[in-house]
Amino acid sequence: MTEENKIAQVIELLVNLLGRERVVSDHASMVIYSREIFMPGSIGLSQGKIQNLASAVCYPETVDEVSKIISRARANRIPVIVFGAGSGVLVGTAPSHNGIIIDLKRMKKIRAINRTNHTVEVESGVMCEDLERALNQEGFTLGHFPGSFYHSTVGAWLSTSSAGQLSAKYGRIKDMVISLEGTLADGSIFRTRRTPRSATGPDIDQILLGSDATLAIITSAVLNIFPLPEKKIYRGFGFADVKSGLDAMRELMQKELTPAVLTLFDPAGTKFNQEKLSGPSSGCLLVVGYEAANSELSELRARLGFERLKQMGGTDLGEEPGLKWLEHRYSLPFNQSKAVSQSDTLVDTIEVSVIWKDAFALYEKVVNEISKFGMAMAHFSHACREGVYIYFSFAVSDSDPEKLKEKQQKVWESTMESCLTIGASVSNYPGISLRRAQWLKQELGVGHELLQKLKKEIDPDNILNPGKLELSQEGAPARPSKMEKKE
């Protein structure tokens, strides 16, 4: 059977299962689904270059339908990509073969908000913003505010193990999961126990989180929720340099004065955002925010925290920078895309995680390296007791699009090298996927081999999200001729 015949057969099966309205295979739709926010994809698209096209997109509404789709796909050895809102920046949802895309956005029920347990049961296709609004109406919050707040789904967070801007207080999505529902690579359905915690062997929920839909498809989850904070106490502090700013961040996290938001901008970042955030004219801006339903306790922590920051050399800049940060925090990703229209400049970001001991050294090294190719700035966030994330933003320019791409690649390579040398991690949120896969291999070492073997054991036909996380050798982007050779 030819490739085209096989695909036609699958489309027919999908239509039989879901109905014609819930299966789409026209060319225009396939083009739209072939890209997401990742820049080269957008640039390529604007130049008429498309890497891979799926053969069909389908919209299941229940886990049983997902189960049947996977079984059919597996029987026909057609790969499956799971799609939420396409807001990933790491090519997580780009089709690798002429596969099927399962768009989960029709699984959009918020099944239950449980006031006694402080949990919510929610399907993977629900958008962040919608979930948060529904919870707010009941007096709760999920506490999860990724930069893609307005255009990401629950399923996306779970498969990429995302973190939001208030993760210092509320935790990352992995800390919020009570139970998962979904299907394995053979289509069988699973529902893990609803318990706050167990000692019943390896934690399956945690193993599946961040696996980027390569080991299973998650269709719904039971998540922790938090009562809405009554009061938000946000403030800005000025520090002379990055080193003293980092020391101050570390102090708050290690002395239980944990704020909800703790973000330090380096001098370049502080200058770039100065107008928007009313930051200092030189040095570094540290945005600190305390918020909690328990306002008495929160106010105490804020008072102690602000005192400590002053003791460590911080200049109190008042509320304004904090409040302005709150106002502008989502506009950053949208502002970056403005640069796309200037065809000779490329803007990109790299996040890495590092322990406190190595944080400043890594920052200095990476910024120096990037300066050879373009402009760089950084901010530090998602602090915890043992370390912090560094979020580098850089811009490279060149009139030649090939040279431009080269410069971007060089920045990535040198940054990843610095991380591997110093011992930091290239693999924090929001997921791994094709872009970082090559460095992931080096970072994980023996662990990478283990995950590859696990993938092969769980999904021997390489149906689920092939090629992502560089977990399957045969998963690299392929043209139809390659697949025919496999037969």
Partner 1 sequence: MKSIAHSSLPKAVVQEIIGIVGEDNFSVMPVQLTSYSRDIWTRKTLEMQAGKLSEPAQMVVWPENVEQVQALVRLGSENEIPLIPLGAASGVCGGTVPLTGGIIIDLKKMDKIRKLDQESFLVEAEAGIIGEVFERELNHQGFTLGHFPSSIYCSSLGGWVATRSAGQLSSKYGKIEDMVVSLEVVLPDGQILRTRTVPAVSTNLSLNHIFIGSEGTLGIITAATLRLWEYPRARAFQGFVFPDLHNGLEAIRNMMQAELRPAVIRLYDPVDTYFSSQGIIEEKPKPKKAGLSAKRGLIHLARKVLPWLYTPSLPNRFLQSRAKKSKLILVFEGEPEIVEMEHKQAKEICLQAGGIDTGEWPAKNWWKHRYKVSYTMSKVFDLGFFVDTIEVATLWDNLENLYYTMQKAITKNALVMAHFSHAYPQGCSIYFSIAATGRTLEDRLKRYDEIWADALNACMQAGGTLSHHHGIGILKAKWMEVEAGGANPLLFALKRTIDPKGIMNPGKLCAGRSVFARNGLKSPAQ
Q: Which of residues 375-434 bind partner 1 (CB under 8 A)?
A: 382, 384-389, 423-425, 427-429, 431-432
The distance of closest approach from Cβ of residue 6 to partner 1 in the complex, given in angstroms and rounded to an integer, is: 27
Count the residues of the shown chain that bind partner 1, applying the rule CB under 8 A.
Answer: 87
Q: Does 442 bind partner 1 (CB under 8 A)?
A: no
Alpha carbon distance 433, 97 (integer Å) = 15
What are the CA-CA distances from residue 163 to residues 60, 157, 166, 430 (Å)? Answer: 27, 8, 8, 7
Q: Residue 473: phi, psi to the nearest 5?
A: -60, -40
Q: Does 184 bind partner 1 (CB under 8 A)?
A: yes
Residues 6+ apart with CB under 8 A from 481: none
Nearer to partner 1 by C-beta: 208 or 277? 208
The correct pick among 9, 42, 117, 397 for binding partner 1 (CB under 8 A) is: 117
The distance of closest approach from Cβ of residue 400 to partner 1 in the complex, given in angstroms and rounded to an integer, is: 35
The correct pick among 5, 21, 137, 195 for binding partner 1 (CB under 8 A) is: 195
Nearer to partner 1 by C-beta: 39 or 422? 422
Q: Does 138 bind partner 1 (CB under 8 A)?
A: no
Q: Does 178 bind partner 1 (CB under 8 A)?
A: yes
Per-residue exposure over 427-461, b if at least 16 CB sit within 10 Å of its own CB, e if not? bbbbbbbbbbbebbbebbeeebeebbeebeeebeb
The distance of closest approach from Cβ of residue 387 to partner 1 in the complex, given in angstroms and rounded to an integer, is: 4
The helix-helix angle for 356-371 and 401-422 (nearest 10°) equals 160
CB atoms within 10 A of CB 179: 17
Positive or negative CA dihedral for 38, 39, 41, 42?
positive
Q: Does 98 bind partner 1 (CB under 8 A)?
A: no
Nearer to partner 1 by C-beta: 223 or 346? 223
Give the chain's count of helices (H) and strands (E): 20, 18
The correct pick among 469, 470, 472, 475 for binding partner 1 (CB under 8 A) is: 469
The helix-helix angle for 63-75 and 3-18 (nearest 10°) equals 160
Alpha carbon distance 117, 103 (integer Å) = 30
Q: Does 204 bind partner 1 (CB under 8 A)?
A: yes
Nearer to partner 1 by C-beta: 256 or 413? 256
Are 107 and 292 in contact, with CB atoms under 8 Å apart?
no
Nearer to partner 1 by C-beta: 255 or 479? 255
**Segment contacting partner 1 by CB under 8 A, of 123-131, 198-206, 399-407, 408-416:** 198-206
Kindly write out the interface string for residues 297-336 of this chain, putting x where it contacts partner 1 by CB under 8 A and - elsewhere.
x--xx--x--------------------------------
The helix-helix angle for 242-254 and 295-311 (nearest 10°) equals 140
The correct pick among 355, 375, 476, 483 for binding partner 1 (CB under 8 A) is: 355
Nearer to partner 1 by C-beta: 93 or 224? 224
**Segment contacting partner 1 by CB under 8 A, of 46-54, 125-133, 329-337, 452-460:** 452-460
Torsion of CA 417, 420, 425, 430, to 10 degrees: 30
Are 414 and 422 in contact, with CB atoms under 8 Å apart?
no
Are 390 and 355 in contact, with CB atoms under 8 Å apart?
no
Alpha carbon distance 364, 199 (integer Å) = 42
Nearer to partner 1 by C-beta: 49 or 357? 357
Residue list 249-308, contact with partner 1 (CB under 8 A): 250, 254-257, 292-294, 296-297, 300-301, 304
Q: Does 118 bind partner 1 (CB under 8 A)?
A: yes
The distance of closest approach from Cβ of residue 375 to partner 1 in the complex, given in angstroms and rounded to an integer, is: 27
The distance of closest approach from Cβ of residue 33 to partner 1 in the complex, given in angstroms and rounded to an integer, is: 24
The correct pick among 197, 338, 485, 486 for binding partner 1 (CB under 8 A) is: 197
